[in-house]
Amino acid sequence: MMKPATLLTLTSLLVALVAAPAQAHRVWIKPNTTAVSGSDEWITFDAAIANGIFNPDHHAYPLQRLTAWGPDAQPVDMQNTQKLQYRSVFDVQLTEAGTYKVFAASRTLVARWTDEDGERHFWPGRGRTGTLEEFRKEVPQDADDLNVTDSASRVEVFVTAGAPTNTVLKPTGNGLEWAPGLHPNDLYTGEDIALGFLFDGEPAAGASVTLVRDGEKYRDQDDAITATADDKGQVNVQFDEPGMYWLEVEYEDEKAKAPASQRRGGYSAVIEVLPL
């Protein structure tokens, strides 16, 4: 289980999701259910980086990069962990009522430039977190075409025992996050639903939101729901069919602090929509 102090450790795969404008791979943490009613229940999770929605076919998500929080926002154990070829699996025991969260988060500076010989460079490289101190030491400040991005990534899922609670939904103010308000374990078909997102604690206005229902493999099209967040960082959607949905949010702006010229955020989650 990852300690809170290490939550912002870089994963090269997550950084790639944020740094690249187009990325075929989807990251997801999928529970067998998002809500249970008993006082001592278990939920099993799959975690993968895949080409398709909920079809593990590329890379198992590294378990050491995941953290589970209980309803009090304190770490709880991930049990029966196993990394398979294309997916990682684990259980979380829900011993207390309320909402739990399983997640990974990273943030890094990413730089690209051209040297005097015309060769392109990328920093910080795979498996490294680009800190400001290291940037000043390792990146030529006067390089041609120097482009620096403040890049944040988050993948998470929420599950609830009994009545939903909101402690684990409290934003950290770091990167792209689910906004307080509508609970992610309280979604039903046929209702007008407002989903909200924040970047560094402020509304993620203009964020691109995509939702894809499970079973994509067996459809001619992914039937994705797409929307752009308003000035409050919200999108309004209505779900016609119940099921598990993969949620992806992408955001960027020009409000970065030097040396970065832009901020970029990537967020993905799995939500379950129930029949009304």
Q: According to the model, what pLDDT value does residue 219 have?
A: 87
Q: According to the model, what pLDDT value does residue 24 have?
A: 55
Q: Which helix (H) or strand (E) holds 261?
A: none
**pLDDT tens readout for residues 121-139:** 988 987 678 888 899 989 9
**Domain assignment present for 43:** yes
**Domain assignment present for 121:** no
270: confidence class by pLDDT, cuts 50, 70, 90: very high
| Closest C-alpha to 153, from 25, 32, 39, 1 | 25
**pLDDT tens readout for residues 234-262:** 999 999 999 999 999 999 999 999 999 99
**Domain assignment present for 92:** yes
Is the Cβ–Cβ distance between 195 and 136 less than 8 Å? no
Paired tokens of 3: 């300690």
DSSP state of 179: P
Q: Measured between alpha carbons, how far is 54 from 245 in angstroms, rounded to an integer?
A: 9
Q: According to the model, what pLDDT value does residue 17 have?
A: 41
Q: According to the model, what pLDDT value does residue 4 have?
A: 38
**Domain assignment present for 142:** no
Is the Cβ–Cβ distance between 227 and 237 less than 8 Å? yes
Paired tokens of 261: 């010229």
Q: How far apart, in Å, are the Cα atoms of 179 and each of 81, 123, 202?
A: 30, 31, 9
* Mean of pLDDT over the chain: 89
pTM value? 0.87
**Domain assignment present for 115:** no
2: pLDDT strictly greater than 80? no
**Domain assignment present for 29:** yes
**pLDDT tens readout for residues 5-62:** 333 333 334 444 433 333 458 999 999 999 999 879 999 999 999 998 999 999 999 9
DSSP 197-237: EEETTEE-TT-EEEEEES-GGGSSS---EEEE--TTSEEEE
Q: Measured between alpha carbons, how far is 112 from 144 in angstroms, rounded to an integer?
A: 9
**Domain assignment present for 141:** no
CATH number at residue 29: 2.60.40.10
**Domain assignment present for 123:** no
Q: Are strands 88-94 and 41-50 parallel, antiparallel or unpaired?
A: antiparallel
What is the mean pLDDT of the segment spanning 178-197? 95
| Closest C-alpha to 88, from 65, 114, 115, 122 | 65
**pLDDT tens readout for residues 134-159:** 999 899 988 888 999 999 999 999 99
Number of separate domains in the chain: 1
Q: 3-state class of 130 per DSSP?
A: coil
Q: Measured between alpha carbons, how far is 266 from 15 in angstroms, rounded to an integer?
A: 9
Q: Which domain holds residue 222?
A: 4-107+149-274
